């Protein structure tokens, strides 16, 4: 080790293929094609390398990771080398038999996504009639004994149902419920005006989450992600660039976060060409925003530099055209007032039609 | 989270799908849990590694008193606090 601490977790984006068409899709604008996806053998090697490098967990994600027929093989490899295997899925391609094979392979936890609390709303947001299937598969997941996280992405078009979303997660036996406001990068940025809530709607939602947390204490954990545009301080995105996480894209590019490809002047190395350890420790993309030496003011002299790590690089680029600027989610950013005004104006206006994410677009 | 004292007769164990693992890269014991990792110091490991669902909390405290040659009330307080904390986080089933 050359002084760079090992990563805690690997986000393995197995594929960008997905039957859902969510308007807040977090995959990059340019999707990796199925024929460019890493082959099974390369993933097996990468999982072994990730464990040796110090990763303790692997999050199998996508797109829809169950679209990969070799998922069981990859889960088994993860378990065999001591990585705690988590599946982040929409659930719509899962059935009982596949679930049993995944459990046999050593799967430890499932995070299941929902788009709303009821089928009409959820299917409209997802652009896919999958809500009932999700509810059904949640029961089958719990029946295997696997712990379940129910994930709800929230925005102005479903926030009124927040209480019934939490009730659904609880009824499904989730031990953890994640309420995540949409983060506006990539595809979601195009739909910002259709999705961003007003400040008052956000305040109501936050108060409701606090009440539900207190009511469910000791039974269900509620994790809550607030939208950056109304924050005073930015989130410590990824726990800091190149500090805790690495993300591998379907075609093998190693990224400091899943949205990093939105920053145009970074070159991402590929696991087909170099070891994971070499990329983590020595690649330009990981070192560019690692630590605090790259920071400009107001981050450079900020007492929170090693708490927030400057916020999100992708958001800084998307909203200020430079990834080395302070994330405008921070009240100390000169661009903060402007994004507050944007959020206020867009959320107060009528919601434009949703632009769905289709694999073809 | 429950602030109730956990009974000395309870037999705590790691909850399902929580793994106690030694991590060579960090030279530290860890608990792998859903979307979380806990790094354990020596004391925490000494406690958690004894939560096997067979030993009572009382036996765990007795063992640790002998191992660390520490007064019982101090050890009992530490064990109670850690087990309660991890029970609240769903890591240990008390």
- Distance (Å, rounded) from C-alpha A132 to C-alpha A97? 18
> Is pLDDT above 90 for A105?
yes
The whole-number pLDDT of residue A25 equals: 94
**Contact A43/A58 with Cβ under 8 angstroms?**
no
Q: Which of A238, A109, A207, A139 minimizes the C-alpha distance to B90?
A: A109
SS (H, E, C) A273-310: CCCHHHHHHHCHHHHHCCCCCCCCCCCCCCCCHHHHCC
CB contact under 8 A, B34 and A86: yes
pLDDT level of residue B2 (50, 70, 90 thresholds) = very low
Q: Which residues of B touch A180 (CB under 8 A)?
A: none
CA A109/CA A294 separation, integer angstroms = 37
Distance, in angstroms, between B76 CA and closest chain A CA? 23
Query: Strand pairing of A254-255 and A245-248?
Result: antiparallel
Q: What is the pLDDT of residues A10-47, one digit of tens each?
A: 999 999 999 999 999 999 888 999 999 999 999 999 99
- Contact status, residue A83 vs residue A58, Cβ threshold 8 Å: yes
How much of chain A exceeds pLDDT 90, in percent? Answer: 93
User: Is the pLDDT assigned to residue A185 strictly greater than 90?
Assistant: no
Q: What's the distance, CA B65 to chain centroid? A: 15
**Cis previous bond, A269, omega within 30:** no
Using left for φ > 0, alpha for ψ between -120 and 50, and beta otherwise, residue A180 falls in: beta
Tell me: the pLDDT tens digits for A40-89? 999 999 999 999 999 999 999 999 999 999 999 999 999 999 999 999 99
pLDDT value of position A304: 95
3-state helix, strand, coil in chain B (%, to 5): 40, 20, 40
- For residue A360, what pLDDT band results from cuts at 50, 70 and 90? low
Cβ-based contacts of B33 with chain A (< 8 Å) = 84
Mean pLDDT of A155-182: 97
Q: What is the reported pLDDT for A218?
A: 82
Q: What is the pLDDT of residues B16-44, one digit of tens each?
A: 999 999 999 999 999 999 989 999 999 99
Burial of A273 (0-12, 13-18, 19+ CB in 10 A): exposed
Mutation pick from A11, A52, A84 vs chain B, by most beta carbons of B within 10 Å, is A84
Q: How many CB atoms lie within 10 A of CB A75?
A: 26
Give ipTM to 2 decimals: 0.90
Look at residues A150, A153, A148 and name the one whose alpha carbon lies nearest to residue A126: A153
| Res. A233 pLDDT band, cuts 50 70 90 | very high
The chain A residues in contact with chain B (CB within 8 A) are 6, 8-9, 52-54, 56-57, 59, 82, 84, 86, 108-109, 111, 145-147, 149, 175-176, 217-218, 221
């Amino acid at each position: 080790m050359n002084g760079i601490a090992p990563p805690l977790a690997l986000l393995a984006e197995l594929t960008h293929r997905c039957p859902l068409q969510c308007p807040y899709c977090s995959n990059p604008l340019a999707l990796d094609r199925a024929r460019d996806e890493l082959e099974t053998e390369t993933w097996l090697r990468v999982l072994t390398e990730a464990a040796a490098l110090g990763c303790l967990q692997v999050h199998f994600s996508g797109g829809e990771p169950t679209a990969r027929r070799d998922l069981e093989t990859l889960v088994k490899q993860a378990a065999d080398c001591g990585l705690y295997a988590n599946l982040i899925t929409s659930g719509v391609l899962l059935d009982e038999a596949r679930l049993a094979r995944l459990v046999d392979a050593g799967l430890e936890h499932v995070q299941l996504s929902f788009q709303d609390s009821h089928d009409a709303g959820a299917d409209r947001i997802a652009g896919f009639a999958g809500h009932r299937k999700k509810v059904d598969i949640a029961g089958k997941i719990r029946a295997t004994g696997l712990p379940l996280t129910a994930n709800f992405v929230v925005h102005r078009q479903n926030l009124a149902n927040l209480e019934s979303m939490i009730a659904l997660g609880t009824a499904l036996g989730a031990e953890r419920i994640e309420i995540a406001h949409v983060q506006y990068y990539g595809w979601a940025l195009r739909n910002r005006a259709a999705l961003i809530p007003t400040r008052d709607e956000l305040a109501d939602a936050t108060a409701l989450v606090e009440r539900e947390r207190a009511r469910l204490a000791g039974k269900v954990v509620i994790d809550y992600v607030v939208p950056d545009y109304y924050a005073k301080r930015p989130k410590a995105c990824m726990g800091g660039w190149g500090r805790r996480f690495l993300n591998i894209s379907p075609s093998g590019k190693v990224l400091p976060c899943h949205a990093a490809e939105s920053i145009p002047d970074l070159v991402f190395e590929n696991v087909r060409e170099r070891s994971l350890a070499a990329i983590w420790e020595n690649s330009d993309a990981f070192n560019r925003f690692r630590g605090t030496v790259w920071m400009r003011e107001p981050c450079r002299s900020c007492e929170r530099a090693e708490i927030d790590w400057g916020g999100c690089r992708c958001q800084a680029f998307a909203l200020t055209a430079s990834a080395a600027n302070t994330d405008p989610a921070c009240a100390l950013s000169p661009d903060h007032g402007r994004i507050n005004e944007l959020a206020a104006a867009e959320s107060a206006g009528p919601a434009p039609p949703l632009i769905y994410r289709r694999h073809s677009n | 989270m429950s602030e109730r004292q956990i009974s000395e007769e309870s037999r705590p164990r790691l909850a399902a799908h929580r793994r106690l693992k030694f991590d060579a890269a960090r030279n530290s014991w860890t608990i792998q849990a859903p979307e979380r990792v806990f790094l354990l110091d020596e004391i925490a490991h000494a406690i958690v590694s004894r939560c096997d669902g067979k030993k009572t909390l009382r036996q765990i405290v007795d063992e640790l008193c002998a191992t660390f040659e520490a007064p019982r009330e101090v050890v009992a307080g530490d064990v109670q606090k850690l087990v309660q904390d991890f029970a609240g986080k769903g890591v240990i089933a008390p």
